[in-house]
Amino acid sequence: MKRIEAIEEIMKEITDEIVVTSCGKISREVFATKDRPLNFYVMGSMGSTLPIAIGISLCKPSKKVVVIVGDGEVLMSLGTLTLLNKLQKEQKINNLILYILDNNSYSSTGGQPTVSDAVEFRLLCDCKVIFVEEGNSDIPRISLKPVQIKERFMEAIREERK
């Protein structure tokens, strides 16, 4: 399965959930598949996608938070999987669904190998691992500036409160 096909499968089910996606081509493929204000694209700061999503999950316990990251991204903050596991076990987070799209490579930078074949992510926390092919689809860059992504996301969150 190609990564964008996995993303299409995930995004097909999305209605009113918050979606947080990792840097590189994953955010671009989510943007191309189903862009919406409740998508927060983390375009840099590799390794920070899951922490950001945990913060959102803690503050919005009644909303489902879907997180889509690559293996390279999550390897950079592996400790956060253990924190998530603790928060899940203590029932402090019940609303975060973590998808790890694992192609054992840094696809966005040319397919250099990662060490994801040496770890079983599902032993570290409750998450869904989808093994996908290495490689990228031919999709444009995200046409929004970071500030626009933030402003419309925060506006959508404020609307939720009303």
Q: Which is nearer to other proteins, 11 or 149 (CB)?
A: 149
Q: Which is nearer to other proteins, 130 or 144 (CB)?
A: 144
For the chain, percent helix, then strand, then coil, each to nearest 5? Answer: 45, 15, 35
Window of 6-14, 24-32, 49-57, 121-129 that interacts with other proteins by CB under 8 A = 49-57
65: tokens are: 């938070």
64 contributes a contact to other proteins by CB under 8 A? no
Q: Which is nearer to other proteins, 57 or 116 (CB)?
A: 57
20: tokens are: 């947080």
Q: Helix or strand or coil: residue 151? A: helix
55: Cβ contacts below 8 Å, ≥ 6 apart: none
Residues in the site for other proteins, rule: CB under 8 A? 40, 42-48, 50-60, 77, 79-80, 82-83, 87, 146-147, 149-150, 153-154, 157-158
